[in-house]
Each structure stands twice: as C-alpha cells, then as structure tokens.
C-alpha cells in the first residue's frame, strides 16, 4: 500500500476495516472518492487463501459494466497479481465462455445483480461457498431497479458476511438489505469540501414520491404571508404544465408558467413580467431549454426536481450579490445521492426540514388523502425512512418559527 502511495488510511477504512475483518455485517455510507472500494478490496485480499478455487468465495454486485471493470482493475492494481482469481461478468451477451471460466474455478466474481442471477439460474454460478457478499454503489443498483435480484442472490448465498456500500442511507436501501443482514453496523462518513462556498440559506425536504412533492408544495404555498413571490424549478416543460394544474390557486394569474408548453396555458415569456404583476405569486420554470434566469427580488426558490446538470443548481444557490434568497429542495430517495454530491461540492449540508404532520403522504398501494387518516396513522405509511416521531419531538408546523421569522425579517430588509 505504501508503494502505491497510500500513506494514511481514510476515515471509512479506519471505521470499518476491523469490523469487516472481524466478520461483522456492515452498511457503510460515505460519498464518492472516500475510499469505499479500496476498503473492501483490501479486506478481500487479506482474507484470501490464494489456493485453487473450486467455487467462488466472494460475490461483488455492481450497477453497470463500467463499475465492474473499475472494481476488477482495482483488485489487480492493489494486489499486483496478474494471476488473481477474479472475473467480471458482462452485462449482456452469451454466457457460455463465462460459465466455462466459472466452472474451471474462480474465487472472486463481480457482476450486476441481473447478470449474476441469470448465470446462477443457468447453473453456471455456484453460490454454496460464498463467504462474502458485497454490494457496491447500492444507491445506483436501487435506481436501476435491481432490488429483487439482489434479494434472491443474497438468500441463495445462505450464511455469509454482507458488506453494503452506498453514498446514502434511505428507505429503499433498507427495503433491499434488511431481510438478509444480521445486526449490521451502520458506519457513516461525511467528506465535505474544505472550503465552503458562500451560498444562500438551503433547506431540504425528503419525501417518498412525486405525488407527495405536490402535496408538500401545496401545503407550503398556503402561507401567502411568507411565500408571496416564488419560483419553482422542474426539469421539463411538460412537468411544468402538469404541476401548474395540480397547484391550488385563487385566481388564474396567481400561478404562471414560463414559456408554457401549450398555447392555451396561462404563462409568460419574460421573468420580469412575473415580478411586476402583484397578483402573480408562483412562477413554474422548466430547466429544459431555459438559460440563466434573473432571480433578483424573488426571495424563494424551490427545486421541485433536481436539474440534471449540477452547475445549473449551483448557479442559483451561490451568492453573487447582497440579496438574500431561500432555496428549498424536494428530494426522493432516488434523488438523494445527487443532493449529497451537491453538499460535498459546497462544503456544507442543507438544513433538513421536518415534514408537516398533517401532510398527505401518497402511498401507491393505498392512496392516502388528506382527512382520511390521522397524522399518526400517516406516519406509519411512510416506510423505514419515515419513523414515527416521539410526541415530544413532533411538530405541527412546516418550518420552525425561527426560520419563518428569519425569512420574514430578511424580506422586510430587502
């Protein structure tokens, strides 16, 4: 390791290596570039017997072909052993040659969950001797819709150590791993940029799905005293048009769409017109095809959806003058990795906000409408990431009194 330039261990390695080598199941949460891959590569190499393999001992699941190749390369790079008993399975194509190599004897297998499951069902992947199952970039595996094959493979591996590596911890992660992990240690590492960027006040709402985002935005916009001029960013013009139809409004000019998709939608083609109209309170803007927008004199920015380009987000939250803005971000579990990347860049975390206790949480299996269930009953529909709060910690407002006072005060100063 010293020859390769690794002079000191990274925080994730310090916190997890002893637990891994001790045989404990772990869930390691840390950002990109924090040393997660090196951590498990070292642990696997340390435990290897370097004998002729009659069946795989280690199965590593990764989200795509590029990640598979990067993992295999890291094993060769650290071990300096060109004859290392490892194979990276392709994500598609014929399985014949791969099965032949597996039958001949390979100790470490790296594959996507879908490919590993397909080869296993062809009786080409023997899981009986697996002693370590590693899930790398778990957040991307979940995003790619591979939860079910992960569960099936884990159950087929029978008794083994499970090592889960992800940039985020959320409900869907626990849905995937909780059934097969045995009292795992949760290890969390935050690696933020040393230099903090000067940004506006940032607030984060974590919600389970798109429909709940709509419910939350409607809930917040009921406070007309505070939210008198608001810009809401979405990714497409179609979403902008649909969102405008889903928001409650008192008159037809209260909610406008910038450059509407359809000619009969109520909208404008110039942000300055929105600023000048007292009756217009909410402007919905699509990131799609929108150049830099002049947000001066608009105190509230809502990122209903995260833009695909991080630079677009950063342009809106970095301070360029003395004017204050309040930037709110709505994030589902699948969007949370992007939020973490942004926090890493700006060198600070967004302020996590409590969801209002009377917010209608949409459930695809059992639709919850406002007024049909009590707040405590709604809490239990939110899943693992939304635990029922203690009575002493429960809140009946959507942002703290101090935050509201701060927003009102800054608006008056402006």
| Residues 45/81, Cβ–Cβ less than 8 Å | no
> Which residue in the block uniquely carries the two structure tokens 């939210």?
227
Residue 305, pLDDT > 80, answer: yes
| pLDDT on residue 50 | 66
Phi, psi dihedrals of residue 404, rounded to the nearest 5°: -65, -45
Does 405 score more than 70 pLDDT? Answer: no
For residue 266, the model assigns a pLDDT of 72
Q: What is the C-alpha separation between 132 and 160, in angstroms, rounded?
A: 5
311-341: per-residue pLDDT in tens?
A: 999 999 999 877 889 999 999 999 999 999 9
Q: Taking the domains of the chain in order of start, what are their residue ranges?
A: 11-188, 201-413
End-to-end CA distance of the chain: 56
Q: Domain 11-188, what fold?
A: Rossmann fold (3.40.50)
The whole-number average pLDDT for the span 61-81 is 94
pLDDT at 99 over 90: yes
Q: 207-242 in b/e burial notation, b at 16+ Cβ within 10 A? A: bbeebbbbbbbbbbbeeeebbebbbbbbbebebbbe
Three-state SS sequence of the chain: CCCCCCCCCCHHHHHHHHHHHCCCCEEEECCCCCCHHHHHHHHHHHHCCCCCCCCCCEEEECCCHHHHHHHHHHHHHHHCCCCCCEEECCCCCCCHHHHHHHHHCCCEEEECHHHHHHHHHCCCCCCCCCCEEEECCHHHHHHCCCHHHHHHHHHHCCCCEEEEEECCCCHHHHHHHCCCCCCCEEEECCCCCCCCCCECEEEEEECCCHHHHHHHHHHHHCCCCCCCCEEEEECCHHHHHHHHHHCCCCCCCCEEEECCCCCCCCEECCHHHHHHCCCCCEEEEECCCCCCCCCCCCCEEEECCCCCCHHHHHHHHECCCCCCCEEEEEECHHHHHHHHHHHHHHCCCCEECCCCCCCCCCCCCCCCCCCCCCHHHHHCCCCCCCCCCCCCCCCCCCCCHHHHHHHHHHHHHC
pTM score: 0.80
CA angle 47, 14, 38 (to 5 degrees): 55
**Residue 399 C-beta-side C-alpha neighbours within 13 Å:** 24
11-188 and 201-413 share one fold: yes
The CA distances from residue 262 to 132, 265, 287, in Å, are 55, 6, 17
Structure-block tokens of residue 359: 């917010």
Other CB atoms within 10 A of residue 379 CB: 17
Q: Is the pLDDT of residue 394 over 50?
A: no
Q: Which CATH homologous superfamily contains domain 201-413? A: P-loop containing nucleotide triphosphate hydrolases (3.40.50.300)
Q: Which of 92-106, 191-205, 379-393 has the lowest mean pLDDT?
A: 379-393
In the predicted model, what is the mean pLDDT of the chain?
86
pLDDT value, residue 81 = 80
Rounded distance, CA 366 to CA 393, Å? 27
pLDDT digits (tens, 9 = 90+) for 344-353: 999 999 999 9
d(CA 127, CA 59): 8
Q: Which residue has the tokens 């002893």?
A: 18
Per-residue confidence band for 47, with pLDDT thresholds at 50, 70 and 90: confident
User: pLDDT tier at 12 (50, 70, 90 boundaries)?
Assistant: very high
Please say if the pLDDT value at position 369 is more than 70.
no
* Residue 28 in this model has a pLDDT that exceeds 80: yes
């Amino acid at each position: 390791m010293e020859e390769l330039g690794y002079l000191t261990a990274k925080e994730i390695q310090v916190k997890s290596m002893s637990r891994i080598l001790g045989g404990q199941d772990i869930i390691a949460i840390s950002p990109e570039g924090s040393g997660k891959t090196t951590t498990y590569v070292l642990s696997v190499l340390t435990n290897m017997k370097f004998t002729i393999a009659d069946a795989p001992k280690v199965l590593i699941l990764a989200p795509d072909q590029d990640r598979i190749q990067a993992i295999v390369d890291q094993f060769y790079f650290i071990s300096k052993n060109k004859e290392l008993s490892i194979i990276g399975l392709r994500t598609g194509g014929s399985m014949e040659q791969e099965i032949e190599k597996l039958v001949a004897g390979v100790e470490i297998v790296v594959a996507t969950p879908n490919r590993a499951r397909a080869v296993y069902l062809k009786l080409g992947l023997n899981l009986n001797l697996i002693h370590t199952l590693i899930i790398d970039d778990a957040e991307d595996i979940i995003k790619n819709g591979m939860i079910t094959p992960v569960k099936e493979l884990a159950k087929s591996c029978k008794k083994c150590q499970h090592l889960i590596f992800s940039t985020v911890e959320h409900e869907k992660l626990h849905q995937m791993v909780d059934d097969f992990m045995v009292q795992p240690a949760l290890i969390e590492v935050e690696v933020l940029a040393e230099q903090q960027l000067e940004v506006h006040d940032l607030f984060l709402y974590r919600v389970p799905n798109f429909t709940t985002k709509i419910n939350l935005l409607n809930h917040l916009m009921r406070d007309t005293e505070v939210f008198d001029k608001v810009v809401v960013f979405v990714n497409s013009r179609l979403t902008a048009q649909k969102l405008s139809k889903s928001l409650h409004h008192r008159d037809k000019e209260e909610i406008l769409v910038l450059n509407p998709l359809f000619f009969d939608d109520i909208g404008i083609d110039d942000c300055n017109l929105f600023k000048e109209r007292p009756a217009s309170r909410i402007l919905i803007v699509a990131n799609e095809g929108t150049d830099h927008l002049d947000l001066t004199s608009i105190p509230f920015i809502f990122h209903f959806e995260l833009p695909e380009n991080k630079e677009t987000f950063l342009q809106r939250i970095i301070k360029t003058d003395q004017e204050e803005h309040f930037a709110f971000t709505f994030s589902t579990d699948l969007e949370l990795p992007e939020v973490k990347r942004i926090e890493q860049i700006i060198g600070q975390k967004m302020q996590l906000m409590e969801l209002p206790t009377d917010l209608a949480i949409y459930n695809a299996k059992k639709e919850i409408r406002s007024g049909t269930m009590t707040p405590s009953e709604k809490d239990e529909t939110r899943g693992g990431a939304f635990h029922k709060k203690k009575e002493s910690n429960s809140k009946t407002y959507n942002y703290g009194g101090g935050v509201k006072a701060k927003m009102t005060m800054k608006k008056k100063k402006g």
